[in-house]
Amino acid sequence: MAILIAIILSPLLLLLFQWLKRRPLHSLPLPPGPKGVPVLGNMFDIPSSMPWKQFREWSNSYGDVLYLKTPTQAVVVLGSAQAALDLLDKRSDIYSSRPHIRMLDIVSPRPWNFAVMEYGPRWRTYRRQFHQFFHQHAVSDYQPIQLQQSRAFLQRALDEPDGLSHHIHLIYSAIILKVVYDMDVTNMHDEYIQIAEEALSALSQVQVPGKFWVESLPILRYVPNWLPGAYFKKWALKYGPIIDEMVDKPFDAVMQNIALGKAGPSVVTNMTEKIQGNASVSGELGRNEREEIARGVTGAAYGAAADTTTAAAQSFFIAMSLYPDVQRKAQQELDRIVGPDRLPDFDDYDNLIYIQAVALECMRWMPVAPIGMAHSVIRDDEYKGLFIPKGTMIIANQWAMLHDPDDYPEPERFNPDRFIRGGGLDPDVRSPTMISFGFGRRK
């Protein structure tokens, strides 16, 4: 009986302790926000589906720096681009960390994904390796692969127009698998694509605020799997191995090809040659840890291209279906600049002003990461007379910023012309690229 009482009371005592610990001990007020309930705060107010819309409603009522609280986590939602730039860009020295995602520890305890790592030496090491292969000048080396897959996409779309969604997904998966692992895939049934789809779906759910109660009640991590409410443990047991497969399976296939002398040029081959040759890919780390970094860097690249880039392209096709007048104008520009005798190439990019504007409007109109990825502040801070406690999760409501009528009149309408003036891109209109890729050192 005593043990049962302790199990029941422990979470309540922890909640009370966390609530008392977070009470400000000075005169500066916390940012305003919905009141919530005692101890539990806004735990039941934050929607798990499309939270960016509720965040905007709250920001309209309370201001562009919005405060929410759960039993173990303070949350600040930034509702304007100016607030995000002021804090996440101009104060990036203290706003560049990531909040600790407890569910991620359960489902994928390996620290492979540097996108969600806390700011520090490990993150800098991973990012430095990633940057070698995906900085602005390096990616031009991959243009032949992009062109080849673009042509293959056009043929598939022509032959099977009803399968457009699959064709869109396939082109970006095929590009990144070729670049990173030198793998050729021709259909969505390829095992590597299937693994990535399942793994990325799981990872996206892990990052939804409020979806798993263990984030608000960390003590739940220690309850038995059979206990009611411990469904998240069974969920983690199902998807954890799939996430590991996404990181390891294609990498191991390349390693096998290297051993057999069959490996072609790829990011993995390049990194592996440095590891085996004892070249410095990560300072003074041992070979096993350097290989783990290579797995993480390539897995992160694979996951990003197979997920967010696909979503961005899908939004383009949705827009072209809903706004045929925009499609006609884009086609007219292609006919004028490229002509009827060839397909567009990268050399045409600078002259395709309207199509550049279409791409910008796709980012703005239907952003693939509506609330981006949360930041975390590493020390107490003050902004416009408001107190932001150390450890607060910072969410930039990028969807609200990209639908701000002050920057983008009639924000719900897909209108590429908003970015054009005098035959070129208008420098006075805020580019969605300043928002849609995130902020500060985590951009």
- H helices, E strands: number in the chain: 17, 8
pLDDT at 12: 53
What DSSP designation does 32 have?
P
pLDDT at 3: 42
pLDDT at 253: 95
Residue 340 has pLDDT above 70, yes or no: yes
> How far apart are the C-alpha atoms of 53 and 56, rounded to whole Å?
5
5 and 133 part of one domain: no
Residue 432 has pLDDT above 90, yes or no: yes
Measure Cα distances from 295 to 114, 179, 262, 320 in Å: 11, 14, 19, 38
> How far apart are the C-alpha atoms of 255 and 249, rounded to whole Å?
10
- Residue among 249, 356, 358 at smallest CA distance from 299: 249
pLDDT at 219: 83
Residue 79 has pLDDT above 50, yes or no: yes
265 and 124 part of one domain: yes
pLDDT at 86: 98
Beta strand 74-78 pairing with 65-69: antiparallel
Provide the 3-class DSSP secondary structure of residue 138: helix
Provide the 3-class DSSP secondary structure of residue 137: coil
Q: Which of 267, 296, 318 is the last residue of a domain?
A: 318
279 and 150 part of one domain: yes
Between 158-167, 206-215, 378-387, the lowest mean confidence (pLDDT) is in 206-215
341 and 313 part of one domain: no
Between 82-96, 127-141, 154-168, 371-385, the lowest mean confidence (pLDDT) is in 127-141
Six-digit token pair at 89? Answer: 């860009």
Q: Which of 255, 285, 318 is the last residue of a domain?
A: 318
Measure Cα distances from 245 to 195, 233, 252, 303 in Å: 7, 19, 10, 12
Query: Which secondary structure element, helix H or strand E, spans residue 275, and what is its range?
Result: helix 267-276
Q: pLDDT of 148-185, one tens digit each?
A: 999 999 999 999 999 999 999 999 999 999 999 999 98
Q: pLDDT of 292-329, one tens digit each?
A: 999 999 998 888 777 788 889 999 999 999 999 999 99
Residue 257 has pLDDT above 60, yes or no: yes
Q: pLDDT of 108-144, one tens digit each?
A: 888 899 999 999 999 999 999 999 998 888 889 999 9
Residue 380: CB atoms within 10 A of its CB come to: 15
Q: pLDDT of 175-196, one tens digit each?
A: 999 999 999 988 888 898 889 8
116 and 172 part of one domain: yes
Rounded to a whole number of angstroms, the distance between the first and last alpha carbons of the chain is: 52
Six-digit token pair at 423? Answer: 């035959």
313 and 335 part of one domain: no
**Residue 203, φ and ψ in degrees, nearest 5:** -65, -35
pLDDT at 7: 47
Concatenated DSSP letters of 279-304:
--SSTT--HHHHHHHHHHHHHHHHHH
Can you give the CATH number for the domain in which 342 is found? 1.10.630.10
161 and 302 part of one domain: yes
138 and 258 part of one domain: yes
Query: Into how many domains does the chain fold?
Result: 2
Q: Which of 318, 340, 373 is the last residue of a domain?
A: 318
> How far apart are the C-alpha atoms of 430 and 443, rounded to whole Å?
17
Considering the chain, what is the average pLDDT of its residues?
A: 89
Of the pLDDT bands very low, low, confident and very high (cuts 50, 70, 90), residue 5 is very low
Q: Which amino acid is at 22?
A: R
222 and 249 part of one domain: yes
138 and 28 part of one domain: no
Beta strand 420-421 pairing with 424-425: antiparallel
pLDDT at 109: 86
55 and 113 part of one domain: no
> How far apart are the C-alpha atoms of 132 and 129, rounded to whole Å?
5
Residue 29 has pLDDT above 70, yes or no: yes
89 and 156 part of one domain: no
pLDDT at 19: 47
Provide the 3-class DSSP secondary structure of residue 66: strand
pLDDT at 2: 40
208: containing domain:
103-318
Between 83-97, 197-211, 346-360, the lowest mean confidence (pLDDT) is in 197-211
> How far apart are the C-alpha atoms of 89 and 434, rounded to whole Å?
10
